[in-house]
């Protein structure tokens, strides 16, 4: 492996897995009312910020209200997307048996359907994290962030289009499962409608809601509301792009060859999660706003444990990583994101591993 | 005209669902302390009464979505126990208009019944499912009724008696109520009062602690020589009988009474039976597919279901992706990675990390 991750023998790998399992079991036994309170409060924040944000936009003829409205609505959308939706869809709160916090049925306020996400994210990305040919999230197929990805001249433009991609990241996630290569141009819209009616319906729903219905309800404030909704969506896109890219594409993260997918034991699986994920240091509020993806390592080790528990798990995970010579990849947001940007610029060039 | 109206209705509904989708509507109702929900059937506890040190009654006020319950019927009720949802079936012990009462007796190691006895409080919110059960007051309206209750099996019976107490009853009702000791039995005072006030109702209490024993150690419910039993047997052919209690109780009653009465109905509580040897077949009921399959106990449930030809989505097969998860309504499973028993009903049950130890019902 690299200098950051000591090569472990089979026995060591399994011992590493057993230690991680023990930590998980300990926290799993504690899950209960405290976690219910937490997620209910997050849900509350999403609803109140959303309501006040939309109201402020309607009242944006008053000075400062437009900015306030955008900020609150963006906050609501970020929380709905990151701390509420993403974690609920993982089934972390299924134990509550709450119809509206159920992993199988939760639908979020974003262009992509949760069903699509369950497939691409919950299954593919989490089961085969950073395994080439299995995990479509490695640069989302359009950005080259590892030398192992095959180079093409298109990638020379990636510093530019990655920057633009951040603003429409929501669309990128929504269309992740769609085949652009075979159907091009406007025919693509038709094929989307036919082949993926659920995605089509969801996009229509979101667009109508944010760009027609809510503006119409605002009457004379149609335009400020429409623009406010649009800016809130863009802020959410940029924020999620930054957090998500810091999760797997910082300097020390690794990609794996397809053969790794065969190694399914707990030890191997846990090791891969540690080696391919990176955390971001920050305050409690920052962790909440990042949907606790700032604890990407813990999230990948324990995607089914409520995210509010990651901070509690982190010291043990770090200790075990250190014991087995595995770098616990963490740093401040500026540092981690800088490393992502470096990767985007560096691997735009035809640099391969051996180069 | 009708189609235009229909289209308008559909459009208005779509607008409503965009502005105020069900999850948002339900949230605000809950936040404002209202019982209204768009679809969910919920109820609030309006009165909690401790019947005996081990038995609690809870009066529930359901919201409009609940279709109602008849005396004698049962309702699946769920609530949070230390954050985890548990679901149990209760027979209602009283119905007053839309209000109804459930009564829970503490059972040893019973998570739900202990919680209700210790922590149920006014204002507590319960989720409900449609009421069910065929044995209701209408079964006994024109014939003499013989009710045979074992312990907490009294609940569907008392609800029928309460109904007749405020309506009209021409036919006699005879109740025999067995329990370990009178002071532990729910509703004894109320039953005595009903018997004093209504000539159609007679009631006999038998404390099993003092009864003779059968060969297997269980109390002998009927002492053939006793005067009351003699008297009862004479009346039997005209009765519609209904027995409610645990399995063993109902079994004994059935043997002795069923052949002699006009009609015999019963309801019993079935303790779950563990499959003997690992590999012994257990029955998995699939509620959505409306069928049952047999799978070997102890085998990975996801693989076993697939092998039995059940359509079930799966992904990681290691418990992390949540693809295979479904609701386990009943049954005991064991988690194959840490050998923990999984006994309660659970909406996020993962077949890929469990094997079944008993018969099981899954919402699949
Ligand atoms: S198949 Fe992934 S959780 Fe069961």
| ipTM of this complex prediction, to 2 decimal places | 0.93
On the CB side of B248, CA atoms within 13 Å amount to 10
Beta partners for residue B94, in sequence order: B101
The conformation of residue A171, written as its DSSP 8-state character, comes to H
pLDDT at B272 over 70: no
Cβ B261 vs Cβ B338: under 8 Å = no
The conformation of residue A22, written as its DSSP 8-state character, comes to H
Is A246 within the bounds of a domain? Answer: yes
Q: Model confidence over A12-39: pLDDT tens digits?
A: 999 999 999 999 999 999 999 999 999 9
Q: Which residue has the higher pLDDT, A195 or B42?
A: B42
Q: Do A213 and B23 touch (CB under 8 A)?
A: no
> What's the per-residue H, E or C state across chain B?
CHHHHHHHHHHHHHHHHHHCCHHHHHHHHHHCCCCCCCCCCEEEEEEEEEEECCEEEEEEEECCCCCCCCCCCEEEEEEEECCEEEEEEEEEEEEECCEEEEEEECCCCCHHHHHHHHHCCCCCEEEECCCECCCCHHHHCCCCEEEEEEHHHHHHHHHHHHHHHHCCCCCCEEEEEEECCHHHCCCHHHHHHHHHHCCCEEEEEEEHHHCCECCCCCECCCCCCCHHHHHHHHHHHHCEEEEEEEHHHHHHHHHHHCCCCCEEEEEEECCCCCCCCCCCEEEEEECCCCEEEEEECCCEHHHHHHHCCCCCCCCCCCCCCCCCCEEEEECCEEECCCCCEECCCEEEECHHHEEECCCEEEEC
Give the strands of the sheet with B326-330, arranged side by side: B291-296, B281-286, B360-363, B326-330, B346-349
Domain range for A182: 10-346
Is A354 within the bounds of a domain? Answer: no
**Strand duo B281-286 + B360-363: pairing:** parallel
pLDDT at position A111 is 93
User: How many angstroms separate the CA atoms of B254 and B149, rounded?
Assistant: 12
pLDDT grade for B271, boundaries at 50, 70 and 90 = low
Distance in Å, CA A242 to ligand 1 centroid: 29
pLDDT at position B108 is 78
Is A5 within the bounds of a domain? Answer: no
* Pocket mutation for ligand 1, best pick of B303, B304, B311, B322 (most atoms within 8 Å of C-beta): B322
pLDDT at A315 over 80: yes
Q: Which residue has the higher pLDDT, A45 or B11?
A: A45
pLDDT at position B280 is 87
CA-based nearest distance B14→chain A, Å: 9
pLDDT at position B134 is 84
- Smallest CA-to-CA distance from B351 within B294, B309, B312 is with B312
pLDDT at position A208 is 95
Q: Model confidence over A168-209: pLDDT tens digits?
A: 999 988 887 776 667 767 777 788 888 888 999 999 999 999
Q: Do B19 and A213 touch (CB under 8 A)?
A: yes
User: How many angstroms separate the CA atoms of A169 and A162, rounded?
Assistant: 10
Interface size, chain A vs chain B, as Cβ–Cβ contacts under 8 Å: 100
On the CB side of B330, CA atoms within 13 Å amount to 14
Is A152 within the bounds of a domain? Answer: yes
pLDDT at A1 over 60: no
Q: Which residue has the higher pLDDT, B24 or B133?
A: B24
Q: What is the pTM of this model?
A: 0.90
Least confident piece of the model among A216-220, A265-269, B97-101, B131-135:
B131-135
pLDDT at A163 over 70: yes
Is A4 within the bounds of a domain? Answer: no
Considering Cα of B133, then B137, then B142, then B144, what sign does the dihedral take?
Answer: positive
Q: Model confidence over A236-290: pLDDT tens digits?
A: 999 999 999 999 999 999 999 999 999 989 999 999 999 999 999 999 999 999 9
CA-based nearest distance A167→chain B, Å: 24
Ligand 1 atom closest to Cα of residue A123: 2
Is A288 within the bounds of a domain? Answer: yes
Q: Do A99 and B319 touch (CB under 8 A)?
A: no
pLDDT at position A355 is 44
pLDDT at position A187 is 77
Counting every residue, how long is chain A?
Answer: 355
Burial class, B11, CB count within 10 angstroms (exposed 0-12 / middle 13-18 / buried 19+): exposed
User: How many angstroms separate the CA atoms of A221 and A218, rounded?
Assistant: 5
pLDDT at B265 over 50: yes
User: How many angstroms separate the CA atoms of A296 and A274, rounded?
Assistant: 9
* Pocket mutation for ligand 1, best pick of B303, B311, B313, B320 (most atoms within 8 Å of C-beta): B320
Q: Do B323 and A123 touch (CB under 8 A)?
A: yes
Q: Model confidence over A84-121: pLDDT tens digits?
A: 999 999 999 999 999 999 999 999 999 999 988 998 89
Distance in Å, CA B286 to ligand 1 centroid: 18
Which domains, from first to last, does chain B contain? 1-39 (no CATH), 41-133 (2.40.30.10), 137-268 (3.40.50.80), 281-362 (3.10.20.30)
User: How many angstroms separate the CA atoms of A248 and A129, rounded?
Assistant: 9
pLDDT at A354 over 60: no
User: How many angstroms separate the CA atoms of A65 and A53, rounded?
Assistant: 9
For the Cβ of B319 lying below 6 angstroms from any atom of ligand 1, the answer is: yes
Q: Do A264 and B87 touch (CB under 8 A)?
A: no
Chain B residues contacting A via beta carbons under 8 Å: 15, 18-19, 22-24, 26-28, 31, 40, 78, 80, 82-85, 87, 127, 315-316, 318-323, 325, 337-338, 346-348
Q: Do A209 and B18 touch (CB under 8 A)?
A: yes
Is A1 within the bounds of a domain? Answer: no
Q: Do B347 and A264 touch (CB under 8 A)?
A: no
Instruction: Tell me what the mean pLDDT of segment B298-326 comes to.
Output: 92
pLDDT at A2 over 70: no
Chain B residue with the nearest C-alpha to that of A95:
B84
Instruction: Give chain A's domain count.
Output: 1
Instruction: Tell me what the mean pLDDT of segment B164-173 comes to.
Output: 90
Q: What is the distance in angstroms between the CA of the first residue and the CA of the last residue of chain A?
A: 17
Gyration radius of chain A over CA positions = 21
Least confident piece of the model among A168-182, B19-33, B77-91:
A168-182
Instruction: Count CB neighbours of B356 within 10 A.
Output: 28
Is A127 within the bounds of a domain? Answer: yes
Distance in Å, CA B340 to ligand 1 centroid: 18
- Phi-psi category of B298—alpha, beta or left, where left has phi over 0 and alpha has psi -120 to 50? left
Cβ B343 vs Cβ B352: under 8 Å = no
pLDDT, averaged across chain B: 90
Q: Model confidence over A113-138: pLDDT tens digits?
A: 998 899 889 999 999 999 999 998 99
Cα–Cα distances (Å) from B335 to A134, A305, B271, B298, B332, in that order, read 28, 16, 21, 10, 10
Residues A237, A242, A244, CA angle at the centre, nearest 5°? 90
Q: DSSP letter string over A271-319? A: HHHHHH----B--HHHHHHTTTGGGHHHHHH-TTS-GGGHHHHHHHHHH
Ligand 1 atom closest to Cα of residue B353: 4
């Amino acid at each position: 492996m690299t200098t950051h991750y000591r090569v472990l023998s089979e026995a060591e790998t399994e011992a590493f897995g057993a230690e991680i399992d023990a930590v998980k079991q300990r926290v799993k036994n504690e899950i209960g009312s405290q976690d219910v309170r937490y997620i209910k409060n997050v849900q509350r924040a999403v609803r109140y910020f959303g309501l006040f944000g939309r109201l402020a936009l309607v009242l944006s003829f008053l000075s400062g209200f437009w900015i306030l409205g955008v900020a609150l609505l963006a906050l609501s959308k970020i929380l709905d997307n990151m701390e509420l939706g993403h974690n609920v869809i993982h089934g972390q709160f299924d134990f509550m048996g709450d119809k509206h916090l159920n992993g199988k049925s939760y639908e979020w306020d974003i262009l992509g359907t949760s069903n699509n996400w369950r497939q691409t994210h919950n299954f593919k990305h989490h089961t085969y994290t950073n395994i080439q040919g299995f995990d479509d999230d490695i640069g989302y197929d359009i950005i080259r962030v590892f030398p192992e990805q095959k180079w093409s001249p298109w990638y020379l433009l990636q510093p530019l289009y990655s920057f633009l991609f951040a603003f429409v990241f929501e669309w990128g996630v929504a269309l992740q499962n769609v085949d652009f290569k075979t159907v091009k141009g406007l025919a693509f819209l038709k094929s989307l409608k036919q082949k993926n009616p659920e995605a089509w319906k969801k996009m229509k729903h979101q667009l109508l809601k944010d760009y027609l219905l809510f503006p119409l309800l605002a009457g004379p404030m149609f335009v400020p509301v429409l623009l406010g909704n649009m800016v809130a969506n863009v802020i959410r896109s940029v924020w999620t792009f930054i957090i998500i890219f810091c999760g797997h594409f910082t300097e020390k993260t690794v990609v794996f060859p397809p053969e790794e997918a065969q190694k399914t034991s707990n030890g191997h699986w846990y090791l891969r999660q540690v080696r391919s994920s990176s955390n971001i240091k920050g305050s409690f509020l920052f962790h909440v706003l990042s949907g606790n993806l700032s604890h990407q390592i813990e999230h990948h080790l324990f995607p089914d444990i409520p995210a509010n528990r990651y901070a509690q798990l982190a010291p043990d995970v770090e200790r075990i990583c250190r014991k087995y010579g595995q770098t616990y990849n963490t740093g401040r947001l500026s540092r981690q994101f800088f490393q992502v940007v470096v990767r985007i610029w560096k691997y735009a060039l035809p640099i391969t591993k051996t180069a | 005209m009708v189609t235009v109206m229909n289209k308008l209705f559909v459009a208005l509904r779509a607008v409503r669902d965009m502005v105020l989708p069900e999850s948002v509507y339900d949230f605000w109702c809950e936040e404002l302390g209202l019982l209204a929900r768009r679809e969910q059937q919920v109820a609030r506890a309006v009165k909690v009464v401790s019947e005996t040190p081990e038995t609690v009654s809870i009066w529930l006020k359901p919201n409009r979505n609940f279709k109602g319950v008849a005396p004698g019927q049962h309702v699946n009720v769920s609530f949070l126990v230390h954050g985890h949802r548990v679901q149990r079936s209760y027979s209602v012990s009283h119905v007053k208009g839309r209000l109804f009462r459930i009564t829970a007796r503490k059972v040893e190691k019973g998570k739900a019944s202990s919680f209700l006895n210790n922590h149920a409080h006014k204002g507590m919110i319960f989720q409900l499912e449609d009421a069910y059960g065929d044995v209701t007051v209408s079964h006994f309206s024109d014939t003499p009724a013989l009710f045979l209750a074992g312990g907490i099996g009294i609940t569907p019976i008392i609800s029928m008696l309460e109904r007749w107490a405020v309506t009209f009853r021409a036919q006699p009702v005879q109740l025999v109520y067995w329990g370990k000791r009178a002071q532990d039995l729910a509703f004894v005072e109320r039953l005595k009062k009903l018997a004093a006030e209504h000539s159609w109702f007679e009631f006999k209490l038998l404390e099993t602690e003092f009864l003779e024993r059968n060969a297997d150690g269980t109390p002998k419910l009927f002492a053939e020589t006793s005067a009351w039993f003699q008297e009862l047997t004479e009346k039997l052919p005209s009765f519609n009988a209904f027995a409610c209690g645990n399995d063993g109780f109902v079994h004994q009653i059935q043997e002795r009474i069923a052949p002699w009465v006009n009609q015999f109905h019963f309801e019993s509580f079935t303790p779950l039976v563990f499959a003997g040897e690992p590999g012994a077949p257990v029955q998995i009921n699939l509620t959505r597919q409306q069928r049952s399959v047999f799978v070997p106990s102890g085998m990975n449930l996801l693989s076993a279901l697939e092998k039995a030809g059940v359509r079930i989505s799966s992904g990681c097969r290691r418990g992390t992706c949540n693809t295979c998860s479904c609701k386990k309504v009943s049954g005991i499973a064991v988690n194959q990675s840490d050998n923990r028993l999984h006994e309660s009903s659970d909406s996020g049950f993962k077949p890929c990390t469990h094997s079944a130890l008993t018969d099981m019902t899954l919402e699949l």
